[in-house]
Chain A
């Protein structure tokens, strides 16, 4: 690894090409500071925007005349703008912040080409703004998880390529022999995502495949955005943070290997479960169902690993903000995945398909699992990057409780309401008028809006705390490692 040829070594993102000099963690943290702060700031803006869009969409589902005078704010567009703002704006920016940082730490060297990350981040935000404005304007594609119009995708693609290249270079030129489980997950995700995205764009938008081949491709893509992008990024983060905070290595590294490969194998066949009962061949649906059930293996493996790592240290863990968020996320990973495997069974799917139950499930995974772990990552990173404490423990607690209770309330409301909705939809005898079923969902829609307000409060608490920490002097930690000024001089960017 230290014999890289001359031309390649200029690609080396690390400041010191000598394999034997491993940077101090504080140096690594300092070198990533600018790019991570940029990404987190972007993520928070998208989070607030996405939450507001979500609230608008949520209210429309029980007050349909709300904000309905312009086509710019019609439900279909608000909902899709919300989804993309959250997934691509909040989700991806958090991933770029947290996972590049963990990657750099595990690769053991402070980085040199941080500017690359900043350029990538700018392209991402510009592309996404263009895309979401396009959705609102009416250029929405009406292809689920691919709503962004074509003219915005090149910017997103360029950005992604830059980050992907950075990630691969970081790994390629790493110091030290051992590779940690988080790195496999991150590399896997970095590789899988562009493939998924390019195939989906090509076969649905640019040169549309015939008929329902589009739908099959669509759900192979969309489910894998969850399973092969968001999930590995969040799992990799949890695998790093849980043992790190507790000071105790992961319970069984062997199980991690098993977990990673079984996830890689099974998850990407599961996507067809979105089409159960639909106009596609039965064998394909069956394959999706089997894969969805087999997902129990990696899920239980991860659960055992995390649980056994935490056992005995619960109380100490509770004293860490990061642990609260990450453990909440990890536990919900187990729950949402087991519920998901159950939902794939045909007789369960008969009831849940097409209902709010699925919407609840999606938020359970994307928020209670993914988002909460990412929040945990930020709470761990920031003091180390800025050499300051978080200014307010109260705001951290507000963030945690509002969001934990808010999301659980949302999931309960949507899944209870959705289950009833499904039962009623299948009962043409007792519920012959569809409008009755719609009216019966209304109380659950209202509870969902209430939970949305709670989430907004939590997000605002997070945003206030973050910007306060960023701009105000706060407490300086008594710690060894470079100060802010010195870190800049060492050629961090």
Chain B
């Protein structure tokens, strides 16, 4: 094979083939997915359409949670945590209570940066907001993020104490103070408290927002 043009043709075509097949075809096939209501109804003419007035899913990301996503990205959380739930018969994701159903392509269409992840050094987080909710969830997350050993002894997740501030208790303790048990080796000395920075609060709001608690026409939640 001595001919540069011939070699070039072959090299070009082999990559063009997979580029078209994998990248472009994905774009064609599911790059145009849109939000939808949880169920579709027959409009009387044999077409399935969205139900008027019903909320649309997946939810659009925004607010403090979106700022928290930026913290998630900056800390490289994706390198230990995935955000995809596998189907019932393929792995134990649903058995572990990681979500009520498998995630599908449409679940990610409103995310500007998709963080599927490929490692589960730690558990999957696609529905972490379904497992840990509200103020109880916030409390757990702050303890866990400050130092994972507090809630999960033996964990190999790094501590994120640098997302928190140690401050002197001024009169009454701050309502935002992280409630670390006094006998824990990570508890601050008496008279001091640990308070989350804005970044920590945003990150926790992001984690609370990660929910797969809705159905999609192609992926209904079955009980």
Interface residues of A, Cβ cutoff 8 Å to B: 60-62, 64-65, 68-71, 74-77, 79-80, 138-144, 171-172, 177-179, 184, 187-188, 191-192, 195-196, 199, 203, 208-217, 220, 228, 257, 261, 264-265, 268-269, 271-272, 274-275, 277-281, 284, 287, 346, 350, 353-356, 358-359, 425-429, 432, 434-435, 438-439, 441-442, 445
Contact = CB atoms under 8 A, between A and B. Distances in A.
A488 to B, nearest CB: 32
A366 B29 CA distance: 33
B105 interface: yes
Interface in B19-44: 19, 21-23, 25-27, 29-33
A268 B31 contact: no
A7 to B, nearest CB: 19
Interface of B: 1-2, 4, 7-8, 10-12, 14-15, 17-19, 21-23, 25-27, 29-33, 72-80, 82, 84, 86-87, 90-92, 95-96, 102-116, 118-123, 147-149, 152-163
B77 A257 contact: no
A212 B108 contact: yes
Nearest to B96: A428
A80 B6 CA distance: 39
Contacts, number: 229
Which secondary structure characterizes the binding site on chain A? helix
A175 to B, nearest CB: 13
Highest count of chain A CB atoms <10 Å: which of B111, B113, B116: B116
Nearest to A261: B10
Chain A to chain B: the 7 pairs with minimum beta-carbon distance, closest first: A76-B76, A428-B95, A354-B120, A268-B18, A211-B108, A211-B109, A428-B92
Contact of B105 (A69, A199, A281, A350): A281
Contacts of A61: 121, 156
B196 to A, nearest CB: 14
A208 B8 contact: no
A212 B10 contact: no
A191 to B, nearest CB: 5
B79 A279 contact: no
A64 B76 contact: no
Given A210-B31, A445-B156, A216 B22 contact: yes
A426 B91 contact: yes
A271 to B, nearest CB: 7
A172 B96 CA distance: 59
A264 B86 CA distance: 31
Given A192-B11, A275-B116, 19 more contacts: A64-B148, A65-B149, A75-B79, A75-B158, A77-B76, A139-B74, A142-B74, A143-B113, A144-B78, A195-B15, A211-B33, A211-B109, A212-B26, A216-B23, A264-B11, A272-B22, A280-B26, A426-B92, A432-B96
